[in-house]
Structure 1
Amino acid sequence: MSKQERVVLGQDDPDDCCPTLLTAPLDEESAADLARVFKALGDPVRLRLLSMIASRAGGEICVCDLTPAFELSQPTISHHLKLLRQAGLIDSERRGTWVYYRLLPGTTDRLAAVLTRPAVPAEPAGTAP
């Protein structure tokens, strides 16, 4: 398995220098894994849900607090949450009759690492063409 694959799959230290989309081409498996996560994020409802979960004080939120924010049925919200869970973006825990959701920062950190451009040294003042 290449270093790129290990980074995308979270099997490498994120502090290590890692390839990005701009420094190394993705192989087929890595592209498929990333596409699955981006597909989950490609829906406005799922993106809002992820934002609500990630920004919640204390790091988790009850489904009972998510559902009223949308003009969608509870089963539809549950379906969107299931897709976010399957993409590895969130996790859940049942407590009694309610389910609580929390962000899995490792996945968003890996996305950020893959999308980050390598640092470009600044040109000295007065040398621009």
Structure 2
Amino acid sequence: MAQILAIDYGKVRTGLAVTDDLQIIASGLTTVPTKELIDFLKDYTKKNSVELFLVGEPKQMNNEASESEILIAPFVSQLRTFFPEIPIKRIDERFTSKMAVQTLIDSGLKKKKRQNKALLDEISATIILQSYLYNK
């Protein structure tokens, strides 16, 4: 087996999370400046076996695509171009940011550390990945 890599795409930063090779455990990987994301993924996939890209799909409460999808759709096209051998699945990412904030609060981090948006993006990607693994 190979890893599943989850992507919480953002305009400025993108949170990443991966599974272990047995696809049992989801762990935060890092947060990457979005403009450097494709290069990061090229390097990462050279060093690690990735079986699937899991990209968050932002939806509104009525199940329609959110405004963020305008930014994400071109990125998904780039993924298909640069990594044609790796399938892409989209997964609903509603509430992941709120869940990530609550995770930081529950972990006992001080308010200043909870304001670290990069950490928040990484945790959001991990929540997306955990959700996928749970429902797989």
Normalising by structure 1, we get a TM-score of: 0.29
Normalising by structure 2, we get a TM-score of: 0.28
- Structure with higher strand content: 2
